[in-house]
A and B are shown apart, each in its own frame.
Chain A
Amino acid sequence: MEIGHHPGIPYHEAPSDLPPDHRLSPGEWVRQNLFNNWYNSLISVVMGLGLAFALVQTLDWALTSDFLIIRRNLALFMVGQFPRDELWRVWASLYLLVGASGFGSGVLFRSEQADAEEKGLPVETHSWSEMLRRFWAIVAISIFFVSFARTLLPYLGLVVGFGLFVVGRELGRRLSPALRTRGLFLSGLAGLASLLVLAGTGGLGALAVGGLLGVWTLSEVRNYAEQHGVGSGQPVPVSRRVWRWHIRYPFKRRVGARLASWVAGVVVGVIAWFVLRTVDLSGFGWDDWGGLHLTLFVTVVGISAGFPVGVLLALGRQSKLQVVKGICVVFIEFSRGVPLISLLLFSSFMLPLLFPITFGIPGPLTRAMIVVTAFSAAYIAEIVRGGLQAVPRGQIEAAQAGGMSVARIQRLIVLPQALRAVIPALVGQFISLLKDTSLLSIIGLLEFLQTSDVANAQTEFLGQGLVAVTYPFVALGYWAFAYTMSKESRRVEERLGVGVR
């Protein structure tokens, strides 16, 4: 008489009713996860009813509301008061930016692939559906926004924009390895130049682009010199005796190459600066910016300028030089101890007094960017400081024992580990910044949220309670970008193996 399982079969191998890799059908999933006991069932029912109610209400709102206010004001929401007959500049700038970022992202992707191949790590294959999964919220929101357009042009613009991104990325991925760094540099330059196209940032944009061109020239000349043995102490091939006078004077030769690269860099930089300055874009400086465009721009500036400043502040706060440390501490604690609103107001009333008259009084957007950068830098500094403290002492000692300089240790050992550890907190800060830019309205900038009030103040729509239409519309815009940022941050975390190693 045998009861129970067969004695010859170990218990864990006893045949079971459910194969182990059995995938649940939707019905079973619901039963197992939502109605597995009485209180869970109760919660499910209550929540389900609530959800259904919310859904019905939303649908009712969506079907009965009049979206005319958005259709009429789409341009207002997107670009504020930017002169309507100059809108082509926004498109041109957008195209340049989208193409450049597509190109840059392609180059980066390919060089990461090459890196993984070289190290024998698993190589990620390129897939557009993966890209769509990553950025679906932004793609969807752009399509949603454009769907309110009354002419065909914005639709066309959107298609061209996506097309340029795809073409840029494909080109970037196909760039030959030798040109990759140059390619990245070029896409950065194009991104900056897009600002010029748009708003005629005049001196500033020209300075930035000219400066970068100069640096580029400098490094190209130096590379050339080194590759051909000038300055590295290697013999100069006879065919390259252009630098003949260097050959007799090894010391002069080295200095000569340095000097030549500097001269070339400065000359190119200055010429570029002057040429770009003469492009006359007066009449609509960037103080005309507004809407979603302004919001995104200030956020990007706050992140990309605030991040390096923040890292420097965090390092400075650890400095043994008391003066440096003191300045950093005062700056950080001041910026963090005061609400952003008061900083912005301060910028309206105080900054103009602090600026030397010769520079002219900076416009509101310039001031706002300075304040937002300072504000985000202070927060980033404190986040990074937390990361710096989490790097074990032994890491620094091991690098010191290898004879590395303080700067190299920070750059190659400490910061990479510190930053990895604080990615989630950093991205949280970036997302806050995106939403905090809504405060720019109090210094008279027409940012994204404010456009909703402006639309509702138009005589046609005044006092009709249409904020119920415009606010959700604006909120969706914020959400798409915030959501994509947090999704991307999780991706970066996973790839860097935060908390795994």
Chain B
Amino acid sequence: MSDTVVNADATEILGKGDTIISLRGVDKFFGDFQALSNINMSVGEQEVVVVIGPSGSGKSTLIRCINRLERHDRGSIVVDGVELSDDIRAIQGIRRETGMVFQSFNLFPHLSVMDNITLAPRNVRNMPKAEAEATAMELLERVKIPDQVRKYPGQLSGGQQQRVAIARSLAMKPKVMLFDEPTSALDPEMIKEVLDTMKDLATEGMTMICVTHEMGFAREVADRVVFMADGEIVEVGPPEHFFTNPTEERTKLFLSQIL
């Protein structure tokens, strides 16, 4: 095949349940610059999709459109049966069902770990304090740092901060988790603890879209890998496909650089 094939269709869900996220013909512009062009993609329940691609290819923009941190310009995005529009209630509804983990953690520095985790459930879900705190403790057990509950973000290592961030997202009991390069800002010895947490999540059946260049993680837990370049989806397939016989030139070039 030639490298002129663009806009590969990522709408076929591999193996898993019903569609929970669906993007159709999504375009996104920053001024004159087109950051996403004609994105078609679906994600099934309990599916793990890993998004890879060179810097500036639009990976972050793609997942940020899904919870409306960016507003898409054309096409439709439907999450859990709700279509994203300018309607603030639709947006809030979708944000409640999607958790997001950022490259730079973005924990709230003025709040303790406990308050970071309980803030959204108490304010958005109106969860009583005691219940929210019990949930927070459970989650901290799950990400294996229950003893840090009283500290402030500034007192934690990068890996611990990112695990708190994951717990914070999970506290809202989301149906989908979005990860934007969650390990890129971490020292090598901390990457593993965060990836392990993410693997556990995947095993427990969480629907996940992860932007990451950790190919070991992709190979182990991804159901599908999506390769993006220049705002387009170039190639889609199960992880083995990418490790054994990627078809597109751009994919090969990219993989040769990171593997």
Contact = CB atoms under 8 A, between A and B. Distances in A.
Contacts of A228: none
A398 B153 contact: no
A496 B110 CA distance: 9
B168 A402 contact: yes
Interface in A402-431: 402-405, 408, 412-413, 416-417, 420
Question: Which of A121, A404, A417: most chain B CB closer than 10 A?
Answer: A404
A412 B165 CA distance: 17
A408 B123 contact: yes
B255 interface: no
B66 to A, nearest CB: 10
Interface residues of A, number: 24
A146 to B, nearest CB: 42
A413 B100 contact: no
A121 B110 contact: no
A397 interface: yes
B123 A395 contact: no
A391 to B, nearest CB: 10
Nearest to A398: B106
Contact of A120 (B67, B150, B152): B150
Interface string B80-111: 00000000000010011011101010111110
Contacts of A420: 110
A404 B123 contact: yes
A142 interface: no
B92 A405 contact: yes
B172 interface: yes
A401 interface: yes
Interface in A112-148: 119-121
Contacts of B96: 403
Given A121-B150, A403-B95, A403-B124, A398 B119 contact: no
B154 interface: yes
Interface residues of B, number: 30
A500 B152 CA distance: 11
B150 A402 contact: no
Interface string A135-171: 0000000000000000000000000000000000000
Given A119-B112, A394-B106, A417-B110, A402 B119 contact: yes
A402 B107 CA distance: 12
Contacts of B169: 401-402
Contacts of B124: 402-405
B69 interface: yes
Contacts of B110: 416-417, 420, 496, 501
A416 B152 CA distance: 15
B26 to A, nearest CB: 19
B109 A501 contact: yes
A254 to B, nearest CB: 15
B153 A501 contact: yes
Contacts of A501: 109-110, 152-154
Contacts of A408: 123
B120 interface: yes
Nearest to A500: B154
A197 B96 CA distance: 52
Given A400-B95, A402-B119, A119 B150 contact: yes
B133 to A, nearest CB: 10
A64 B71 CA distance: 77
A227 B99 CA distance: 33
A417 B99 CA distance: 23
A221 B160 CA distance: 45
- From B120, B153, B168, residue with most partner A Cβ within 10 Å: B120
Nearest to A416: B110
A42 to B, nearest CB: 46
A214 to B, nearest CB: 26
Interface in B148-165: 150, 152-154, 165
Interface in B124-159: 124, 150, 152-154
A368 B114 CA distance: 46
A416 B107 CA distance: 14
Contact of B69 (A397, A412, A417): A397
Given A119-B150, A496-B110, 5 more contacts: A397-B106, A399-B120, A401-B99, A402-B99, A403-B124
Q: Which 9 A-B pairs have the closest CB atoms?
A: A402-B120, A501-B154, A398-B106, A401-B100, A403-B95, A394-B106, A403-B96, A403-B124, A120-B150
19 contacts: A119-B112, A119-B114, A120-B150, A121-B150, A394-B106, A397-B100, A398-B102, A400-B67, A400-B95, A401-B67, A401-B99, A403-B120, A404-B120, A405-B92, A416-B110, A500-B154, A501-B109, A501-B153, A501-B154
Interface of B: 67, 69, 92, 95-96, 98-100, 102, 104, 106-110, 112, 114, 119-120, 123-124, 150, 152-154, 165, 168-169, 172, 178
